[in-house]
């Protein structure tokens, strides 16, 4: 069953249900935020998104990954490289610094090497998601983008609602995929194609004026919990094409380098098989990287397996 956000009067309680959150489970947001405060919140988020989107240089860091699920638990240290918009590489090494496993992706395909088994696997990111029981909706998004909590620049996005958080952690933005182009009177196009739609007017008892066209029903792309003053993303709920949540990504701390924010701790949960992935980053630095740095060359004698 697919449940949609219903625009209610400001005094009404919000969101009767959202299918993605487990049928019609309780959601973390409450009342609509409107008028001047909504404008201030949206402006703060647009400033944050625009600032992060200008951070196009490569960066690297040491990482600790904790993966827990009903199928398996494991933890490892690694070296990470990221280059917006889509290049990502993870190198797992032994205490002597010798690589044991390497994974790299350009956003559409991936390649991995297991040194101990002298094997390699390559294929689409969809096959990688299936292999590790991860939602493809999450894996197919630009990894450097979601690591930095910034908008995916692939399509135009719009903010359709702003709501209070039930635990006073910030405010929730409903970000939708603008399949239809809003006209100049209904929304303002800003940097990174973030469009803000005016809040819906309270429902009237009288019939809707025939001259007023109904607002298009934009499909939800994600829900963002942001700081109402700085616009910094604290959490995002990623949904699929049916608006069913696929993962919750929480940003627990950030490090600022120049004008760019980089994550120090990320937790990804609400995954299949009750999986939770914890990521901790240290020694973060901006560095010069090129797409060639993410090319993995398979050593002679290694087996090759293709995963379409």
pLDDT digits (tens, 9 = 90+) for 91-126: 999 988 899 999 999 999 999 999 999 999 999 999
Reduced to 3 states, what is the DSSP secondary structure of residue 191?
A: helix
Residues 302 and 102 sit within 8 Å (Cβ to Cβ): no
Provide the residue ranges of all domains of the chain, joining segments of one domain with +: 19-55+155-199+217-287
Length of the chain as a residue count? 308
CA-to-CA separations, 133 to 70, 175, 195, in angstroms, rounded:
12, 26, 34
The widest CA-to-CA distance across the chain, in whole angstroms, is 76
Mean pLDDT value across residues 27-37: 94
Q: Within 13 Å of residue 66, how many CA atoms lie on the same side as its CB? A: 10
Check residue 235 and give its pLDDT: 97
* Confidence label for 25 from pLDDT (cuts 50, 70 and 90): low
CA-to-CA separations, 56 to 30, 84, 180, 295, in angstroms, rounded:
35, 6, 28, 19
Q: What is the pTM of this model?
A: 0.80
Which tens digits make up the pLDDT trace of 173-189?
A: 999 988 654 443 333 33
Which tens digits make up the pLDDT trace of 268-287?
A: 999 999 999 999 999 999 99
Reduced to 3 states, what is the DSSP secondary structure of residue 293?
A: helix
Q: How far apart are CA 7 and CA 53, in angstroms?
A: 30
Structure-block tokens of residue 195: 């469009």
129, pLDDT greater than 90: yes
Check residue 114 and give its pLDDT: 97
Residues 6+ apart with CB under 8 A from 53: 150, 151, 153, 191, 192
* Confidence label for 215 from pLDDT (cuts 50, 70 and 90): low
Q: What angle do CA 138, 19, 146 make, to 5 degrees?
A: 20
Q: What is the dihedral of CA 202, 205, 207, 209, to 10 degrees?
A: -40
Mean pLDDT value across residues 241-267: 95
5, pLDDT greater than 50: no
* Confidence label for 156 from pLDDT (cuts 50, 70 and 90): confident
Which tens digits make up the pLDDT trace of 201-212?
A: 333 333 344 445
Burial class (CB in 10 A: 0-12, 13-18, 19+), 196: buried
Mean pLDDT value across residues 57-79: 94
Give 99's DSSP letter.
E
Q: How far apart are CA 147 and CA 169, in angstroms?
A: 20
Check residue 178 and give its pLDDT: 81
Check residue 208 and give its pLDDT: 40
Check residue 212 and give its pLDDT: 54
Name the nearest CA neighbour of 276 among 70, 27, 102, 28.
70
């Amino acid at each position: 069953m697919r449940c949609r956000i219903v625009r209610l009067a400001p005094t009404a309680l919000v969101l009767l249900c959202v299918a993605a959150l487990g049928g019609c489970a309780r959601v973390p947001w409450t009342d609509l935020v409107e008028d001047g405060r909504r404008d201030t919140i949206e402006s703060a988020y647009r400033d944050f998104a625009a600032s992060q989107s200008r951070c196009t240089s490569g960066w690297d860091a040491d990482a600790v990954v904790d993966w827990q699920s009903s199928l398996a638990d494991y933890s490892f240290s690694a070296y990470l490289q990221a280059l917006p918009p889509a290049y990502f590489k993870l190198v797992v090494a032994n205490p002597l610094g010798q690589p044991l496993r390497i994974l790299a992706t350009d956003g559409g395909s991936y390649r991995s090497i297991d040194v101990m088994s002298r094997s390699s696997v390559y294929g689409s990111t969809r096959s990688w998601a299936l292999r590790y029981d991860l939602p493809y909706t999450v894996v197919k998004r630009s990894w450097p983008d979601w690591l930095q909590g910034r908008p995916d620049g692939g399509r135009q996005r719009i903010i359709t609602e702003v709501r209070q958080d039930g635990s006073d952690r910030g405010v929730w933005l409903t970000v939708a995929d603008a399949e239809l182009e809003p006209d100049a009177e209904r929304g303002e196009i800003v940097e990174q194609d973030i469009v803000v739609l005016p809040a819906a007017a309270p429902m009237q008892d009288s019939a809707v004026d025939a001259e007023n066209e109904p607002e298009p029903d934009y499909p939800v792309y994600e829900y963002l919990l942001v700081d109402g003053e700085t616009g910094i993303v604290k959490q995002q709920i990623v949904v699929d094409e049916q608006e069913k949540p696929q993962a919750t990504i929480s940003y627990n701390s950030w490090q600022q380098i120049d004008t760019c924010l980089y994550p120090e701790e990320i937790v990804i949960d609400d995954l299949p098989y009750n999986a939770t992935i914890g990521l901790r980053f240290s020694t973060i630095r901006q560095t010069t990287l090129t797409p060639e740095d993410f090319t993995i060359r398979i050593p002679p004698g290694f087996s090759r397996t293709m995963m379409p």
